[in-house]
Amino acid sequence: DTEVTQTPKHLVMGMTNKKSLKCEQHMGHRAMYWYKQKAKKPPELMFVYSYEKLSINESVPSRFSPECPNSSLLNLHLHALQPEDSALYLCASSPGPGRNTGELFFGEGSRLTVL
């Protein structure tokens, strides 16, 4: 079983809706990530949080807004999305700076459909 928990597993939303994806880990990891994955493609990095601070934003549109309330939680707020944003959104965590061996632990993902 994955130790990174994502909710909801499935989300359907309209283009005017506001929703949030949630991610939680209790492994004491200090780096957390959001990835977007389209069908039959590898995951694409969106954001990286390191010690609860946003350290990488891969030029993601502002309709995606990440938030890291504490070291165990990571949210992705969604607003005014487009149908092409439909994808599997993966959360991941790793031990963090200075101790990162490339070890990424992924959650099961949130399947997002934008109508």
Partner 1 sequence: KNQVEQSPQSLIILEGKNCTLQCNYTVSPFSNLRWYKQDTGRGPVSLTIMTFSENTKSNGRYTATLDADTKQSSLHITASQLSDSASYICVVSGQIYNQGGKLIFGQGTELSVKP
Q: Decide: is 103 part of the binding site for partner 1 (CB under 8 A).
A: yes
Burial label, 62 (beta-carbon count in 10 A; 0-12, 13-18, 19+): exposed
Q: How many residues can be counted in the chain? A: 115
Q: Is the peptide bond before 42 cis (omega within 30 degrees of 0)?
A: no
Rule CB under 8 A: choose which of 36, 43, 81, 114 binds partner 1: 43
How many binding residues for partner 1 (CB under 8 A)? 30
Work out whether 59 is an interface residue with partner 1 (CB under 8 A): no
Judge if the upstream peptide bond of residue 43 is cis by omega within 30 degrees of 0.
Answer: no
Which residues form the interface with partner 1 (CB under 8 A)? 2, 4, 6, 31, 40-43, 45, 48, 50, 55-56, 88, 90, 92, 94, 96-97, 100-109, 111
